[in-house]
Structure 1
Amino acid sequence: MTLVVILFVVLLLLEMPLAFSIGIAGLSYFLMSDYLPLTISVQKIASASQSFPLLAVPFFVLAGHMMNRTGISDHLIGFSKTLVSWISGGLAHVSIVLSTLMGGVSGSAVADACMEARVLGPSMIKSGLSPGYTAGVIAVSSLITSTIPPSIGLILYGYIGNVSIAKLFIAGILPGFLMMALLMLAAWVIAKRRGYQPEASRRPTIGEVWRDMKDAKWALLFPLMLVVTIRFGIFTPSEAGAFAVVYSVLVGFFAYRTLTVKKIISALHESMNDIGMIMLIIMLSALVGYAIVFERLPQSIAETMNGVTSNPDLMLLLILGFLVLVGMVMEATVSVLLLTPIFVPMIQVLGIDPVHFGILMMIVVTLGGMTPPVGVAMYSVCGILKCPTDRYVIESLPFILTILVMVAILAMFPHVVLFLPNLLM
C-alpha cells in the first residue's frame, strides 16, 4: 500500500491528470498482489458506476449549468446587493450572501468562486477594496456551497459512506448560514479597520427587499423545494436531481425567458466535460478504495490513533486536523472518495454521528481548495482578478481562521449540525 501512495504522489508531481494518477496507482496494487486477480480491478471500475444514488451527481451538475444559463445569478446578485451592500465593506458582504444563495444552484465551490470573481470581482476592486481582500472573500466564501444543498461533495460522501443523503442535505443548512454570518462578521471587522465604505448609502426598505426577493424567487425556492421533496419522500436524491434539470429548463424558458436552444447545447457541452471528469475519478478511485478495505487500513489507523487518545472529542479533532492537511494537497472530491471508507467506520465505533462528521469533513477538505499549495479555487480567483498569490494568502488568513474556529465549535457541539435533521427526519 505504501508503494501505491508513493506512485500516486509521484504521478501528481509529474502533473498527470488526477483521474489517471489514481487509476494507475490503484492498478499497480493489483499488479503487485499475489492474491488478487487483475479481473477484480476491471469489475471494481465497472461496479463503481452502477449506483442509483450516484445519478444525483450528473443531474445536479447539469442543473447547475442550466441555471447559470437562465441568468439566475443576475437576479441573486441584485437581491444580495439590496440586502447587505449598505454594510461597511459593501460588495464583500454581497459576495458572501451570494455564495450562500448560489449554494442551492451550483453545488460547486470552484464554480461559485470563478463566477463571482468574473462578475463581482472587478466591481469590488473598483469600489476601493484591495485585490487581496477581494480574492480572499470570494474564494473562502465559496466554501459555503460545500454544505448548502445540493452539495456534490455531500452526495459523494453519502454514496461512499452509506449515509443518508437527505439527512446530509438538511444537516448542511444551519452550518451554511452560520458560516455566512461569521464570514460577514470577519469581513465587517476588517472593513471597519481599513475604512472601507458601504456600496449603498442607506439601508433598504422592506418594500425594496420584497421587490428584489420576488424577482429572485425562482432561485430562492429551488433549495427549499429540494429539501421539502426529499424530506417528505416525494423524490429520492437522484430523482431530485432529475427534477432540478426539468425545473431549470422551465424557469429559463417560461419564468425568465432567457434560455435558448443554443444556451442549452452550451450547458450540455460544459456538463459533459464536468460529469466525465467526476465519473472517471469516481470509477478509478474504486481501485484504491478496494485496496484500502483489503489492507484493513481503517482498522490500522484506528488502532494507531487509539494509542494516542481514546477520548472521542479529541479523536474527532485529530481526524479533522489530518483532513485539513490532506485537503491542502488533494482535491476535495478525491479526498472524499478515498478517505470516507477509512474514517466513517472509525467515527461510528467512537459513537460519532456520520451525518455530523460528513458536514465537518466536507468543510475542511473543501477548505483546501482555498489554501496553498494546490488550492484550485485560490488559483482560479487570483488568476481572474490578477491578484498576487502572496497577497491573497496574507489577506485570506482571517477568513480561513474564522472557518477553522467554526469547525471546532461544530465539532464540540454536534447538536448545531444535527438539530434540523433530528427535527425533520
Structure 2
Amino acid sequence: MLIVTLAFFVLMVIGMPVAFAIGISGALFFLQQPALPFTIPVQRTVSQTQNFALLAIPLFIMAGSLANRSGITQRLLALASVITGRLRGGLAQVTIALSAMMGGVSGSAIADAAMQSRMLGGEMLRRNLARGFATAILGFSALITPIVPPGIGMVLFGSVGQVSVGRLFAGGIVPALLLWLAFSLTVSLIARRRGYPPERSSRLPRGEAGKALRGGIWALLFPVLLLVGLRSGVFTPSEIGAFAVAYVALVGFLVHREMNARSGAEAIEASLADVGAVMLLIALSAIFSYGIVMERLPEAISGAIVGQTQSLIGVELLILAFVLVIGFFVDATVLIIMLAPIFLPVVQNLDGDPVHFGIVFIVAATIGNFTPPVGAAMYAVCTIMKCPVEEYTRGAVPFFIAAVAVIVLLVLVPEIVLFLPDAIFGR
C-alpha cells in the first residue's frame, strides 16, 4: 500500500481531481497483485453505486439547490439579522446564525460558504470589517452546516460505518449550537478589540421581528420534520431525501411563490455537477478501499493507536488529531469514506458510541475544508472575497482554535452529543 498511498498524494499535489486520484492510485494495487483479476475494480465501482442508502445524497444536494431559488435563503437571512443584530460584530454574527439555520437546507459546507460570501461579503467590506476577518468567518461559520440535519457528511458516515443516520441527525444539533456559541464569542471578542459595532443599537419593532420569524419558520421546521419522520418510521434515511426535495419545492412554489418551472429546472440542472462529482468520488473510492481491507490496514492502525493508550478518550483524541493533520491535505468527503471504516471499529472495540464518534469525526474532518493548503471552501471564499490566502489564514486562526476547543469538549463529555438521540430514539 506504500506505492498506492504515495501515488495518491503525488496525484493530489499535481492537481488531479480527487476522484481520479483515488481511482488511479487504487488501481495500482491490483497491478501489484497478479493473482487478483482486474475485473474487480470495475465490479467494485459499479456495486458501490448500487448502495440504496446513498440515494439520499443526490436528493439532499438537489434540495439545497432548490432552496436557493425558493426564497428560503433570503428569509433566513432576515431572521438571522433579527436574532444577532444587537451583538458586536454586525454581519459577522449574522453569517454564523445563517449557517446554523441554512445547514438544515443546504447540507453542504462548501456550498454554504460560497453562497454566504456572495450574499454578505461585499456588505461586510463596505462596513469596514477587515478583509481577512470577514473572509475567515464566512468560511468557518459553514463548519456548522454538515452537522445540522440533513448534513451530507452524516449520511456518508452512516452509510460507510453502518451507523443510524437518524441518531446522527439528532446528535449533531447540540454540537452545532455549541459551534455557533463558540464562533459568536470569538467574533464578539475580536469586534470589541477592533471596535466593530453591532448591526443595530435598538430592538426591532415586534411586527418586524414577527414577520422575520414567520418568513423563516418553514426552513426551521425542516430538520424537525426530518427527525419526526425518521423516529416515527414514516421515512427511511433514503426516502427522507425525496421528502426534502418535495418539501423545498412545495415551499418555493406554493408558500413563498418565488419558484417557477424555469427556476426549478435551473436548480436541478445546477445540482447535476455536484451530484456527479460526489457520486464519482464515492464509486471510485471502492477501488481504494478494497486494497485497504486486503492489506489489513485497519488492524495495523488499530494496533498502533491502542498501543499508545487503552483509554477511550485518549484513543479518540489521537484519532482526531490525526484527522485534523491529514485534513490539511485531503478533502473531508474523502476522509469520511476512507478513514471512518478504519477508525470506527477501534472506537467500538473500546465501547465507544458510534454516533458520538461520528459527530466529532465529521467536524474534525470538515475543518480541513477551511485550512490551507488545499481547503476547497477556503479557496471558494477567498476567490469570491478577493482575499489572499495568507490574510485569510491570519484571520482564521481564532476560529480554528474555537472549533478545536469544541471538538475536545465533545470528546470529554459525550453526553453533549448523545442525550438528544437517546431522548428521541431511546438508548
TM-superposed deviation, 1:34: 3.3
Q: Aligned equivalents of 2:335 and 2:137: distance in 1?
A: 24
1:208 aligned partner = 208
2:307 aligned partner = 307
1:367 aligned partner = 367
Give runs of aligned pairs for residues 123-162 of structure 1, distance below 5 A: 123-162=123-162
SS of alignment partner, residue 177 of structure 2 = helix
TM-superposed deviation, 1:10: 1.1
Q: Aligned equivalents of 1:79 and 1:67: distance in 2?
A: 16
Is the 1:127–1:199 contact (alpha carbons within 8 Å) kept by the matching residues of 2? no
**1:132-159 deviation digits (Å, cap 9, x = unpaired):** 1111111001000111011101100100
Q: Aligned equivalents of 1:220 and 1:144: distance in 2?
A: 15
Give, as a single letter, the amino acid of the residue that structure 2 aligns with 1:342: I
Give runs of aligned pairs for residues 16-415 of structure 1, distance below 5 A: 16-415=16-415
Is the 1:116–1:138 contact (alpha carbons within 8 Å) kept by the matching residues of 2? yes
TM-superposed deviation, 1:35: 3.2
Q: Aligned equivalents of 1:86 and 1:422: distance in 2?
A: 35
**1:264-308 deviation digits (Å, cap 9, x = unpaired):** 221111111111111100000001111111111111011112222
Is the 1:328–1:365 contact (alpha carbons within 8 Å) kept by the matching residues of 2? no
Give, as a single letter, the amino acid of the residue that structure 1 aligns with 2:35: Y
Give, as a single letter, the amino acid of the residue that structure 1 aligns with 2:328: M
**1:308-331 deviation digits (Å, cap 9, x = unpaired):** 222221111000000001111001
SS of alignment partner, residue 307 of structure 2 = helix
TM-superposed deviation, 1:71: 2.0
Give, as a single letter, the amino acid of the residue that structure 2 aligns with 1:188: S
Q: Aligned equivalents of 1:198 and 1:109: distance in 2?
A: 26
**1:14-64 deviation digits (Å, cap 9, x = unpaired):** 211111111111111112113321122211111111111111001100111
**1:176-211 deviation digits (Å, cap 9, x = unpaired):** 011101110110111011111111121335543322
Is the 1:129–1:196 contact (alpha carbons within 8 Å) kept by the matching residues of 2? yes
Q: Aligned equivalents of 1:384 and 1:289: distance in 2?
A: 35
SS of alignment partner, residue 204 of structure 1 = coil
Q: Aligned equivalents of 1:249 and 1:332: distance in 2?
A: 29
TM-superposed deviation, 1:258: 1.0
Give, as a single letter, the amino acid of the residue that structure 2 aligns with 1:256: H
Q: Aligned equivalents of 2:40 and 2:186: distance in 1?
A: 51
* TM-score normalized with structure 1 length: 0.98
Q: Aligned equivalents of 1:350 and 1:207: distance in 2?
A: 54
SS of alignment partner, residue 15 of structure 1 = coil
Is the 1:4–1:29 contact (alpha carbons within 8 Å) kept by the matching residues of 2? yes
Give, as a single letter, the amino acid of the residue that structure 2 aligns with 1:286: A
Q: Aligned equivalents of 1:279 and 1:169: distance in 2?
A: 21
Q: Please say which of residues 59-68 and 38-47 is displaced more in the overlay.
A: 38-47
SS of alignment partner, residue 382 of structure 2 = helix
TM-superposed deviation, 1:402: 0.4
Is the 1:96–1:180 contact (alpha carbons within 8 Å) kept by the matching residues of 2? yes
Q: Aligned equivalents of 1:162 and 1:306: distance in 2?
A: 22
Is the 1:171–1:417 contact (alpha carbons within 8 Å) kept by the matching residues of 2? yes
Give, as a single letter, the amino acid of the residue that structure 2 aligns with 1:175: P
Q: Aligned equivalents of 2:389 and 2:252: distance in 1?
A: 37
Q: Aligned equivalents of 2:203 and 2:291: distance in 1?
A: 58
SS of alignment partner, residue 106 of structure 2 = coil
SS of alignment partner, residue 37 of structure 1 = coil
CA-atom RMSD in angstroms? 1.1
Q: Aligned equivalents of 2:9 and 2:222: distance in 1?
A: 40
Where structure 1 has 5 or more consecutive residues not aligned to the other structure, the ranges are none
Q: Aligned equivalents of 1:311 and 1:53: distance in 2?
A: 33
Is the 1:370–1:376 contact (alpha carbons within 8 Å) kept by the matching residues of 2? yes
Give, as a single letter, the amino acid of the residue that structure 1 aligns with 2:361: M
Where structure 2 has 5 or more consecutive residues not aligned to the other structure, the ranges are none
Q: Aligned equivalents of 2:306 and 2:315: distance in 1?
A: 8
Q: Please say which of residues 207-216 and 128-137 is displaced more in the overlay.
A: 207-216
